[in-house]
Amino acid sequence: MYVAVLYETVEDFLQRRAPLRAEHLALVERWHREGRLVWAGAFEPADGALLIFRVNALSEVEDFIRSDPYVRHGLIPAYRVRKWNVVVGGENAAS
């Protein structure tokens, strides 16, 4: 299944992320290599981010979120997790 995660960031996110960025990117890159994180990136302006996962269970996404240093250190005060039905593109696109 595909899952979309929408992060909301704190006002001073760009200033506060610097000491956590390497750890966050290592987590993102590992999940991408494993095939569980398809796309990830911040919005412009950086008031949020979108992450698209391909997983077997929502619990995997919750594990990612709990381990994300941005979440653990309060840079992501809110987020939404939504199952995403792919209609065009991807292996599981509806026909």
How does pLDDT run across 2-50, given as a tens digit for each residue?
999 999 999 999 999 999 999 999 999 999 999 999 999 999 999 999 9
The token pair that represents 33 in the structure block: 């290599």
> The whole model's pTM is what?
0.91
Instruction: Output the CA torsion sign for 17, 22, 23, 26.
Output: positive
pLDDT of residue 89: 82
CATH architecture of 2-84: 2-Layer Sandwich (3.30)
pLDDT of residue 21: 98
Phi, psi (degrees; rounded to nearest 5) at 33 = -60, -40
DSSP reduced 3-state for 20: helix
